[in-house]
Amino acid sequence: MSLLEITDLSLDIGTYPILKGITLSVAEGEIVAVTGESGSGKSMTALAVMGLLPGGAATRGHVRLEGREILETSEAQMCRIRGRDVGMVFQEPMTALNPVKTIGDQVAETILVHEKCAKAEARARAREVLDRVGLPAERFPLTRYPHELSGGQRQRVVIAMAIALRPKLLIADEPTTALDVTTQAQILDLLKELVADYGMGMLIITHDLAVVSGLAHRIVVMRHGEVVEEGETRALFADMKHPYTRMLFEASDHCVDLPPRPDGTAPLLQVEGVSRDYPLPRTKLFEPRRHFRAVRDVSFTLDRGDRVGLVGESGCGKSTLTRAILGLEPVQEGRILLGGEPVLDGGRPNLAVRRRIQVVFQDPYGSFNPRHRVDRLVTEPYHLLPDPPKGAAREAAIDEALEAVGLQAADKRRYIHEFSGGQRQRIAIARALIIRPEIIVFDEAVSALDVSVRAQILDLMARLAAEYDLGYLFISHDLSVVRRITDRVLVMQAGEIVEEGETEQVFLAPRHAYTRSLIDAAPRLPKVGAA
């Protein structure tokens, strides 16, 4: 008998079906990965096992944990099971901990809720568990608060809470999605060790096939609330039967047909010795302000039609540099020139330069005004032009921009909430394209997208680069994407560019230790058929 047995589980919220007859199982000591794109029902499956489904959810079928029917267990009983028999780790370590309680109290709470034991004993046991997850007492006393820890450290605390009572089943819902690659590798290793040590079963939910391939014993692929394929990891990668699985796999490792780089062109964007400081809050009333140098003496040149990647972990100064390049913030040292002219002219944005550079941001949901129609959204950059097109010319420009990104001219009368994440990102690109910039800055522009959508957007970028003679700066934490979409790459660490070179060269033979650690930590997909 398996530890967890889900048989024919269906779930409706209201009249809307979320899960349609899911069947999967997890044995003791086994790691089972559930993968699929957003909306496939992965997380709902996990919540069903925890008995933490949202209100209004109606379930049919069976979820059995050690033979016990979870769907028919009373809430009071479930409270005894959660945390003791099943532990859960969530996606967002930054918000998964209570900010006003110490980490010691939060880990000890798991023990105190389930067992009659003295506070001191619970704290001693919490100490042991924190040691076990790699948070030693010298650096991480029980009295620490969550805000004093980094994302990876917080995720370790969440894991400590989940395993404090050595549950038989651990559910991890996208446990590393919000973390940097090097941290991700460490957390995945920790989870793997714990499963082996404790003989737990683990159900890990992730959209990232590369993460899955190095971790799980078995893989379950879901789409639209159904299991489309499942099997032992190596066997599944060796012989993918369902076209959706194949599509997912190919999209994850999607090769872009990047047009040849135009040669013999002049430098377009010149970043020369740029440093950017942020003032720190004063610790004493009348002391001089201290500063944090977020970007330190950065120089590089982007030629016309150049496709350059900028990679680095969170907090390395990528976004700060982006804002400086766009002329949104002043720099303290150095200068940024576009076509020989400064992007910021005496503290004021230089409009003549601005219209030559546009930006596409990460969040396809937050970067549009929801009250404007698409035509108005797309024409926003027109305020940079001294004489923007009007009337029929304006309509024609909108139609062209929308069609260029694979949408229809008729979409201009619609509102942004009527579009999916991928379509919104297309609209963001149309908005950047409409004034025919020479450079577009893509700031994590595909990071929030599903792999299949991401592949389409990357193709679109390659096509536009050819058609519009476009150069871009592609900023991302995702090395595999950068590798496929850029000719040159800059690696940034703690505000400095530590390595620069031809993309393939850097990936094949990284010179800097940091670059090497990034590349090593990035999870890789196995070669198809090479099982």
Partner 1 sequence: MLRYALKRLTSLVISLAFASLVIFFVTEVAPGDPARFMLGMNAQEDTVAALRSELGLDGSKAERYLDWVSGMAVGDFGTSYTYRTSVGGMIADRLWISLPLALYALALSTAIAFPAGIYAAARRGRPGDMGVMGATQLGIAVPNFWFAMMLVLIFAINLRWFSAGGFPGWDKGLWTGIKALTLPAIALALPQAAILARVMRSSLLDTLGEDFMRTARAKGLTRRQALWRHGLRNALIPVLTIIGLQFSFLLAGAIIIEQVFYLPGLGRLVFQSITQRDLIVVESVVMLLVFSVILVNFLVDLAYAAVDPRLRQRA
Q: Which residues bind partner 1 (CB under 8 A)?
A: 50, 52, 75-76, 79-84, 87-88, 90, 92, 95-101, 109-110, 113-114, 145, 147-148, 158, 161-162, 281, 283, 285
Half-sphere exposure of 60 (CA within 13 A, CB side): 9
Distances (CA, A) of 287 to 279, 284, 292, 468: 13, 6, 16, 52
Q: Which is nearer to partner 1, 280 or 531 (CB)?
A: 280
Give least dist CB 164 to partner 1, A.
9
Q: Which long-range contacts (CB under 8 A, 24 or more apart) does 257-260 make?
A: 257/459, 257/462, 258/307, 258/462, 258/465, 258/484, 258/485, 258/487, 259/462, 259/465, 259/466
Give least dist CB 361 to partner 1, A.
23
The distance of Cα 217 from the centroid of its chain, to the nearest Å, equals 24
Q: Which is nearer to partner 1, 113 or 409 (CB)?
A: 113
Give least dist CB 88 to partner 1, A.
4
In this structure, what DSSP letter does residue 446 have? T
d(CA 127, CA 107): 9
Q: Which is nearer to partner 1, 95 or 408 (CB)?
A: 95
Q: Which is nearer to partner 1, 101 or 527 (CB)?
A: 101
C-beta separation of 458 from 254 below 8 A: yes
Give least dist CB 3 to partner 1, A.
18
Give least dist CB 122 to partner 1, A.
13
| 372: exposed, middle or buried (Cβ count in 10 Å: 0-12, 13-18, 19+) | middle
Give least dist CB 148 to partner 1, A.
8
Q: Which is nearer to partner 1, 114 or 296 (CB)?
A: 114
Q: What is the residue-wise DSSP string for 63-90?
A: EEETTEEGGGS-HHHHHHHBTTTEEEE-
Q: Which is nearer to partner 1, 162 or 325 (CB)?
A: 162
d(CA 168, CA 32): 14
C-beta separation of 33 from 218 below 8 A: yes
Structure tokens at 66: 């050690």
Q: Which is nearer to partner 1, 7 or 98 (CB)?
A: 98
Give least dist CB 85 to partner 1, A.
9
Give least dist CB 80 to partner 1, A.
7
Q: Which residues pair with 101 in a beta bridge?
A: none
How crowded is residue 408: how many other Cβ atoms within 10 Å of its Cβ?
Answer: 10
Q: Which is nearer to partner 1, 158 or 251 (CB)?
A: 158
